[in-house]
Chain A
Amino acid sequence: MAEIQIKNLHKQFADFTAVSDSSLVLEDGKFIVLLGPSGCGKTTTLRMIAGLEYPTSGQILLGGEDVTYRRPRERDIAMVFQLFALYPHMGVRANLEFPLRNEGLSRIEIDRRIQEVAGILRIEHLLGHRVGGLAGGDRQRVALGRAIVREPKAFLMDEPLGTLDAEFREVMCVELRKLHDRLATTTVFVTHDQNEAMALADYIVVMNKGEILQADSTEGIYNFPSSMFVASFIGRPAMNLLPLAQGVAQGDTTARFAKASVAIPSMRAGASQAVLGVRPEHVDLLPAGEGIPARIDYCEYFGSHWVASIDSPLGTLKAVAPKNVRPAQGEAVGIRLQTGRLVLFDSKTEFLLASDSTVQHRPGMRHG
């Protein structure tokens, strides 16, 4: 078990900056997801932590020890590329033993570990079987077992679920999270899929173009996205981003649109052009005649709720309505935005503007 710290990490591939001067503390025992679109630097960051790539500058500390230029196998970290690459010609036990053989462990120690891992994953009864004949779910458990049998200080996983079909991926997310709750080994997991991130992470690190945009708890990222990029990347349906007709100034409590205005938390910063952010869950649907007049353009049924696309004087936006509301296409309605939940962004920098509600939030991770 160990805390991982990266300090001013920078990686240059010729004239392409993969990771730009990033600092981050990955707390011991947490499940941390590096999330971002392809090319954002998440995999490069992971590979530098693993030692598969050396940084151009900066430092990596593992449990307080500088490991920046150590070879991968001297780091006591398990890298999992894809959970499902097993040796098909070997039995389950041989697959589990494989990573231990090179470590010079005693036979007794190897057997003890395999028994323990098999117990955790409930695959004791399969130890004598061949991998080829296993059902999908059991195969996945064996692959997971092979990663944890080494008892590393940390797991690094690079899109390990990427090749699975969607259904298995969801099942696997639950299984991975349970395993983590049990082992509490620091885990760094790279993905571009926000569903995986939400299902797994204690903390999410959102990256784009080599930079860390936000490193925070899922709730911090959901409530107070640091930028418009984060706001639209996380949460489905995505946060509504509605450009204002004019800027905002410090102390403002109203956001003005061309034909309507909306009460907002008192601003602590201003911008000459601004964008209002509101999650669809925080747009209330009202009967026509109340609130801001609007019209339903399209709606989708989710069982527990509806999602309606709405044409309004604030722009086109989405709203979540409880299941008994039954919005209908073309219907005239009113909308109201929940003031305490609104955030504003500077249109030029696309970063979050401070307000009375945002200053109450403390990010869950240290980063720079």
Chain B
Amino acid sequence: MASVSIQSVTKNFGTIRAVDGLALDVADGEFFVMLGPSGAGKTTTLRLIAGLEQPDSGMVRLAGKDVTAVPASHRDCAFVFQQYSLYPHLTVYDNIAFPLRSPLRRQDPASIDARVQAVAKLLHIEAKLQRKATALSGGEMQRVAIGRALVRQPAVFLMDEPLSSLDAKLREELRVELRRIQQSTKATVLYVTHDQVEATTMADRIAILEGGRILQVGTPEQIYRDPNCLAVAQRLGAPTINVLPVAWFHGSALRRARHAAVRPEDVEVSLEDGDDAFTVVECSLVKHLIVAERGGIDVRARFTANYPAPIGSRVRLRFPPANCLFFDDAGDRVSTA
């Protein structure tokens, strides 16, 4: 296993700057997630690390060594894609064994067999080894694709949305499995996703990307509790953080603030009317959510009562100041301390 480091890497595609002076350091054995919307430059960054793209400027290091000019086949990175890309004419066994039989590695059949069996066991596909890759379900195919990466014991795993073509249940299972395998093998994983759940549940650290730049790097809890800008605050959290007019708040420290933001689970809801009450526009017990409106502004709050509040009824909402985040015109965080 190895650390990964990239320094002021820029990559243009024609007139589009996909990656813009990006720098990041991933420690050996770390599960590092790059989270961002499509077009943020996540996949391009991963491909730059793999050597599938060449940067216009900047440097890529693996285990401390400059590999910017090294071809992909010599970088010892294993790539797992969203589409499983297995060899359809081969069995599961042969798909997993494939990288070990490559002329670059050339290993004896007994040790190949031992490795394939060990990986299959880890991924719970021992019983499927003799099947054709096409005779598997989506979840099994992705397991095989992960197995094919694992079997090589590469320096670094690069994963590009590996779970997003699976259904909710499988995604949930594989999330846990992938994280457990990473912890037990102490693998270095760079993982790209647009799904914040995958990011917060699996990552040691997350980098939030937008427009080819990193907005913030930190542990899931750091980023969720202490975002440095409004875009980051809005990227994590479902339902999304409420952005409210700062005029609803008092305090001298807020002179520079333009937006106040508060997480739905921090809003206190009481079912009572009053001058400052809100009107309920949506209430779902399934989503544990109430949406209430005042002055054209919708506020989302976590709501766990046994009975829904009727639409059109009045509720009071309180925003505990200790749980509110403030941002200036540019969207940067304003400290209230």
Contacts and interface: CB of A to CB of B under 8 A. Distances in A.
A7 B64 CA distance: 70
Nearest to A282: B304
Interface in B172-200: 172, 175-176, 180, 194-197, 200
A165 interface: yes
A229 to B, nearest CB: 13
A238 B170 CA distance: 12
A129 interface: no
Given A198-B287, A236-B169, A302 B200 contact: yes
Interface stretch (A19-27, A76-84, A118-126, A216-224): A216-224
A300 interface: yes
A307 B284 CA distance: 20
Interface residues of A, number: 30
Contacts of B220: 301, 303
B69 interface: no
A236 B201 contact: no
A305 B221 CA distance: 11
A272 interface: no
B304 to A, nearest CB: 7
B111 interface: no
B200 A303 contact: yes
A108 interface: no
Contact of A219 (B38, B82, B194, B308): B308
Given A195-B168, A304-B237, A281 B176 contact: no
B241 to A, nearest CB: 10
A168 B39 CA distance: 12
Interface string B68-106: 000000000000001000000000000000000000000
Contacts of B288: 281
B41 interface: no
Nearest to B164: A166
B176 A236 contact: no
Nearest to A218: B286
Nearest to B283: A219
A219 B306 CA distance: 11
B168 A194 contact: yes
Interface in A213-239: 218-219, 222-223, 235-238
Contact of A300 (B176, B221, B285): B176
B20 interface: no
A193 interface: yes
A74 interface: no
Contacts of B169: 236, 238
B287 A303 contact: no
A219 B284 contact: yes
Contacts of B167: 192-193
Report which residue of A198, A219, A298, A304 has the largest number of chain B beta carbons within 10 angstroms of its beta carbon.
A304
B226 to A, nearest CB: 12
Nearest to A169: B164
Contacts of A195: 168
B224 interface: yes
A166 B160 CA distance: 13
Given A300-B201, A301-B200, A323 B168 contact: no
Contacts of B175: 300
B312 interface: no
Interface in A284-336: 298, 300-305, 307, 309, 322-323
Given A165-B164, A303-B196, A198 B237 contact: no
B148 interface: no
Nearest to A167: B194
Interface string A177-219: 0000000000000001111001000000000000000000011
Nearest to A303: B224
Contacts of B224: 303, 323
B159 to A, nearest CB: 15
B200 A222 contact: no
Nearest to B193: A166
A147 B195 CA distance: 30
A193 B138 CA distance: 14
A340 interface: yes
A309 B265 CA distance: 22
A80 to B, nearest CB: 22
B168 A236 contact: yes
Contacts of B176: 298, 300, 309
B230 to A, nearest CB: 16
A24 B277 CA distance: 41
B181 to A, nearest CB: 13
B321 interface: no
Contact of B195 (A166, A168, A304, A305): A166
A305 B236 CA distance: 12
Nearest to B302: A304
B201 A222 contact: no
B69 to A, nearest CB: 33
B264 interface: yes
A305 B287 CA distance: 13
Interface of A: 165-168, 192-195, 198, 218-219, 222-223, 235-238, 281, 298, 300-305, 307, 309, 322-323, 340
16 contacts: A165-B38, A167-B194, A194-B168, A195-B168, A198-B286, A219-B285, A298-B180, A300-B175, A300-B176, A301-B201, A302-B197, A303-B220, A303-B238, A304-B237, A304-B238, A305-B265
Given A236-B169, A237-B172, A298-B176, 8 more contacts: A165-B38, A165-B82, A167-B37, A236-B172, A301-B201, A302-B197, A303-B224, A304-B238
